Structure 1
Amino acid sequence: MTPDDSVLPAMGEAPEGVRLQKVLANAGVASRRVIEQYIVEGRIRVNGQTVTELGRRIDPESDLVDVDGTAVQLDVSKRYVMLNKPTGVVSTMKDENGRPDLRRFTDEWPERLYNVGRLDAETSGLLILTNDGDLAHVLAHPSFGVTKVYIAKVDGLVTAQTISTLTRGIELEDGPIKADKARLLDASRGSSLVELTLHSGRNRIVRRMMAAVGHPVDELVRRQFGPLHLGALPAGKARELSKIERGALLTLSRQDSAVPATSDRTQASDKDPIQEIE
């Protein structure tokens, strides 16, 4: 018996798994011939290990695959949607008080989608809807430090000194906080536009920070969440993420291998306590 005989299927048995080339071709990565070249060039990993053999088989339901360091979505049951939430809508799938909620934006998709994090009713902008509980946990939980970018229209003319204060840090009633980045976009006619980048998941943090430095927020929009940008998506419209956007999100969600195995990870929940409100 050769050293490899022990791992070969017995006579008459079908080999387990599906050829990697077929799986990735079905996922739209490239043709099988091109994928074989990727394998030869060492550009594909399965569960973090570089694949070197062309005959590699995988289980699409459990194995994690990336190409050039970008994760590939193999589970087609998972749905990822970007919404530009308008003001006046609460970030829940069913509001007990009868206020406008997110259900009106999910009719197009058969899956039961949930929002990742929350925006308060008077805040507009980028909200992610998905049925992927693992990804929702990483994106929404403040311990993972996923950054978000906001543009706030505030009262008064913001100075360079105020911008510096926001990045150095201020003290709020629930502890100190500082912006990862802050910049003044415009200041005229008694109001200012300020861009803030934060990774905090604390409730209404932008509004509280700007009020603390003497510039209450009049309007607030979230323009970016992790690697996703709102772009030109109109308010009140939703769209599925592109293959590139999905890859970026999945790559981010897999970067931290020490995610605790809690019930939060196995099922996205509309009542999930990890969801912040901005």
Structure 2
Amino acid sequence: MTEPKENRGERLQKILAAAGVSSRRKAEGLILEGHVQVNGQVVTELGTRADPDRDHIRVDGKLLRGREQHRYYMLNKPRGYVTTLSDPEKRPTVADLMAKKRGPHAESARLYPVGRLDYLSEGLLLMTNDGNLANQLSKAAAGVEKTYLVKVAGVPSAESIDQLRRGIMIDRGRLNEARSGRRDRVVTAPAKIEQVRGGDNPWFELTLIEGRNRQIRKMFEEIGHHVEKIRRIGYGALRLDVSPGDFRELTAGEVMALGRAAKGLKVTPKQRLPEFAQLKKPVPPKKARRRVPGDHRRG
């Protein structure tokens, strides 16, 4: 018995993501807007399936050349870059940064950021052309741990920090028409937080399993403190180990760890970032006095 055509192959948005055209979510938009053709026919239904090895699939007239080799990078995003591929305000983007660093002779893989860091934030950002993995990691259900160093103005009280650990109500960022146009409020998930440097403007190490818009800034604003700097230094099992503006390709083991995290499996980093030690300024151990033959003084 012949398998019905609608049940053969893969979903079209998955094929586009695997080919590096876009993330799966953006691929859905391309389909709905009529940018995609399969064997000469415009497709606008998200449930459409196709065979990338047999069907001719075009996006805006350009023929897909099959599955693109997946690439995975860790980028240390500097402050003052937008986490997107293009910006209507013409601000520099992470895509511009990587294209410039990789040079004109690099492979033409179209890389997309996983998650976001706002314009003023810096640190670890994943860049990949693997749309499936990016989509899985972006889902809140994955619960991937993200670790940040946060510098705030003023010294929060111990009670306020405990409030952040338990979860605090913040502005969700969207209007609720049923409540006279007021913005929705939401309680954040419990967070891990500890102070790593004191002073009038202390630094905190903060680990979240969420990624709400401007969440960290809103959390500290709720307890009365302005956030001066945010630096992401951990994502799942990854720890930031490149200089600002630089990037490196992930190892096969790191990619496997990301895949496990995307499935909701707990992955623990094997080492901590050296920057933690720099912030905490540990006291170096005293060196033992070397005994010289004939030296009878007591140490």
Short-chain TM bin: 0.5 to 0.7
Matches within 5 A, 1:102-251: 102-107=94-99, 108=102, 109-173=107-171, 174-188=185-199, 190-231=200-241, 233-251=242-260
2:69 to 77, 85, 88: 77
d(CA) in 2 for partners of 1:105 and 1:192? 31
Mark the CA change 1:178 to 1:184 in structure 2 (over 3 Å): closer, same or farther: farther
Matches within 5 A, 1:46-85: 77-85=69-77
Structure 1 unaligned spans of 5+ = 1-60, 62-74, 257-278
Q: Is the 8 A contact 2:167 2:191 kept in 1?
A: no
Shift of 1:94: 1.3
When normalised by structure 1's length, the TM-score is: 0.61
Which residue does the alignment assign to 1:65?
Answer: none
Structure 2 unaligned spans of 5+ = 1-52, 54-66, 172-184, 266-299
Runs (4+) off by over 6 Å: none
Shift of 1:179: 3.7
Mark the CA change 1:186 to 1:158 in structure 2 (over 3 Å): closer, same or farther: farther
d(CA) in 1 for partners of 2:193 and 2:226? 16
Shift of 1:255: 5.4
Shift of 1:131: 0.7
Bigger Cα Rg: 2
Shift of 1:76: 7.7
d(CA) in 2 for partners of 1:76 and 1:100? 26
Shift of 1:228: 1.1
Q: Report the secondary structure of 1:106's partner residue.
A: helix
Shift of 1:217: 0.2
Letter in 1 for 2:90: G
Mark the CA change 1:171 to 1:234 in structure 2 (over 3 Å): closer, same or farther: same
Give CA-to-partner distance per residue, 1:60-114, whole Å, 9 cap, x none. x9xxxxxxxxxxxxx9811001100000000011112211012233322420110
Q: Report the secondary structure of 2:194's partner residue.
A: strand
Letter in 2 for 1:250: G
Q: CA RMSD in A?
A: 1.9
Shift of 1:135: 0.6
Q: Report the secondary structure of 2:202's partner residue.
A: strand
d(CA) in 2 for partners of 1:202 and 1:238? 25
d(CA) in 2 for partners of 1:215 and 1:252? 32
Q: Report the secondary structure of 1:210's partner residue.
A: helix
Q: Report the secondary structure of 1:191's partner residue.
A: coil
d(CA) in 2 for partners of 1:214 and 1:102? 32
**How many residues are aligned here?**
181
Q: Is the 8 A contact 1:171 1:177 kept in 2?
A: yes
When normalised by structure 2's length, the TM-score is: 0.57
Letter in 1 for 2:76: N
d(CA) in 1 for partners of 2:147 and 2:135? 19
Shift of 1:234: 0.5
d(CA) in 2 for partners of 1:145 and 1:204? 17
Q: Is the 8 A contact 2:164 2:190 kept in 1?
A: yes
Q: Is the 8 A contact 1:158 1:184 kept in 2?
A: no
Which residue does the alignment assign to 1:42?
Answer: none
Mark the CA change 1:82 to 1:230 in structure 2 (over 3 Å): closer, same or farther: same
d(CA) in 1 for partners of 2:204 and 2:190? 12
